[in-house]
Amino acid sequence: MAPALLLVPAALASFILAFGTGVEFVRFTSLRPLLGGIPESGGPDARQGWLAALQDRSILAPLAWDLGLLLLFVGQHSLMAAERVKAWTSRYFGVLQRSLYVACTALALQVYYHVLGLGEPLALKSPRALRLFSHLRHPVCVELLTVLWVVPTLGTDRLLLAFLLTLYLGLAHGLDQQDLRYLRAQLQRKLHLLSRPQDGEAE
């Protein structure tokens, strides 16, 4: 019973993360930034702001592109998740069916980057950031290690798998002083941005 209780904090943290992501998504999809800070209320000013935004081509054109990209993403996910499509891809691709799904998702994201003129995602990173990425594993590996180790019982095969993957991820993690200085500078930059007063707030 006691080992199972260790999963409670992890589950609670996962819920908080998912809830926070949902709140951030609602904030991101708000039209307030497009309306230049017009109060979000039910008054006449808010209604006029919405009407003005929906008649402004400089706003409608990006919204149309966003809608198209969103439909591409939703359509690809929904189509490939349909039972008939899954059965067809499983028949011809076998165990690679899921890999095909992930590859098509990545392709949809590449279309998104191409439309926005962003190019290769990693090309937007600075040389110091690329150097940092080459010295550590993806943060999602922490979640993988948690899944491997935080279990009520640990069989011999599971123990061997957890030990080898932990060793593999640990050996690949080789940050040096230059990487730490970069991380410290990024942290200070973010703290400085968060400490700045927001638009409309008194200094």
Which domain does 60 fall in, by range?
A: 1-31+47-123
C-alpha–C-alpha distance, residues 9 and 18, integer Å = 14
C-alpha–C-alpha distance, residues 7 and 5, integer Å = 5
C-alpha–C-alpha distance, residues 70 and 179, integer Å = 36
Query: And the tokens for 55?
Result: 């008649």
Tell me which H or E stretch contains 145: helix 140-149
Residue 38 reports pLDDT greater than 60:
no
Last residue of a domain, one of 123, 147, 175: 123
Residue 101 forms part of a structural domain: yes
Q: Please tell me the total count of domains within the chain.
A: 2
Tell me which H or E stretch contains 20: helix 7-28
Please tell me the pTM assigned to this model: 0.46
C-alpha–C-alpha distance, residues 138 and 141, integer Å = 6
Instruction: Tell me what pLDDT residue 154 has.
Output: 78
Last residue of a domain, one of 75, 103, 123: 123
Q: Summarize pLDDT for 77-112 with one digit per residue, the tens.
A: 889 889 999 999 899 888 888 888 888 888 887 787
**CB count in 10 Å sphere of residue 74:** 11
